[in-house]
A and B are shown apart, each in its own frame.
Chain A
Amino acid sequence: GAGVSQSPSNKVTEKGKDVELRCDPISGHTALYWYRQSLGQGLEFLIYFQGNSAPDKSGLPSDRFSAERTGGSVSTLTIQRTQQEDSAVYLCASSLGWATGELFFGEGSRLTVL
C-alpha cells in the first residue's frame, strides 16, 4: 500500500481479554516501530524491529505485551489480559532503515479497555 496501514482502527474490549493489533508497513521499509500515545501525552516507545528481529524490547510496559514480525513485513502487537491503563492509541511507524530519517506513521489503533 501507499502508506502504513493499521487495524483495527478502533477496538473496545473488556478487562482481562487479549487483543491483537496489526501493522502493515510501507513496502521496502526494513524498520518498524510501535509507540503508545495516551490522552494528552507524547509518544511512548514500545519496541522496534529491524527486519524480523527486535533487538530491544525494554520499552514494552509489562510481560503482558509482546510483538512479532514475520517475513520482514507485517507486525502484530499482542496485549494479554488487558487492563484499563492499557487504553491508548497504539501507533505503528516504518522507515527505510534503523535511524535513517523520517518515520512514516499509520493512523493508529485506538484501544479502549472497559
Chain B
Amino acid sequence: TQLLEQSPQFLSIQEGENLTVYCNSSSVFSSLQWYRQEPGEGPVLLVTVVTGGEVKKLKRLTFQFGDARKDSSLHITAAQPGDTGLYLCAGDEYSGGGADGLTFGKGTHLIIQP
C-alpha cells in the first residue's frame, strides 16, 4: 500500500487569503484525486489528475499533479468560509489494477475565518 503524506495537517486562515496544501508520496500513482469532506458527510470528489504536470482549475481552486506523478498540490485563491472542510488526496496505485482501492492521505483540516 502506498503512503500519502498531506501537509499541513491543520490550517486556519482569514477570509481572502491564499493557501496551498500538499500531498506527497515516494511512490508513483497512475492518477490522483482530491476530495473535500464536511462534518457529518462523506467525502465529495473535487478533481482527478492523471497526467504528470497536469494543472486543473475549479473556480478559485487550482490542482497540480507533479511531473513524476508522486505528488500534488491544491492552491486556493481568496479563500472563503465555504472552503472550510477536510481536504483529502487519494491515489490509485500504479500497478495496472491494484486490489486495495484508493490510498487516502490523512487530510488537511482547513478553517477559513470570516
Q: Which residues of A contact B (CB under 8 A)?
A: 4, 33, 35, 40-45, 48, 55-56, 58-59, 91, 93, 98-99, 101-103, 105-108
B75 at the interface (CB under 8 A from A): no
Chain B 75-114 interface 0/1 with A at a Cβ cutoff of 8 Å (1 = within): 0000000000000101010000111111111110000000
Total number of residue pairs linking A and B with CB closer than 8 Å: 58
| Nearest Cβ on chain B to A6's Cβ, whole angstroms | 8
The interface on chain B, measured as residues whose beta carbon lies within 8 A of the other chain's beta carbons, has a size of 25
Q: Which residues of B contact A (CB under 8 A)?
A: 1, 4, 6, 33, 40-45, 48, 88, 90, 92, 97-107
Q: Please, which residue of chain A has its CB at the minimum distance from the CB of B103?
A: A45
- B100 and A105 contacting across the interface, CB-CB below 8 Å: no
- B101 and A48 contacting across the interface, CB-CB below 8 Å: yes
Tell whether A105 pairs with B43 under 8 Å between CB atoms, given A41-B106, A55-B99, A56-B100: yes
- A42 and B88 contacting across the interface, CB-CB below 8 Å: yes
Q: Majority SS of interface residues in chain A? A: loop
Tell whether A103 pairs with B45 under 8 Å between CB atoms, given A42-B88, A43-B88, A55-B99: yes
- A107 and B41 contacting across the interface, CB-CB below 8 Å: yes
Tell whether A91 pairs with B102 under 8 Å between CB atoms, given A42-B88, A42-B107, A102-B48: no
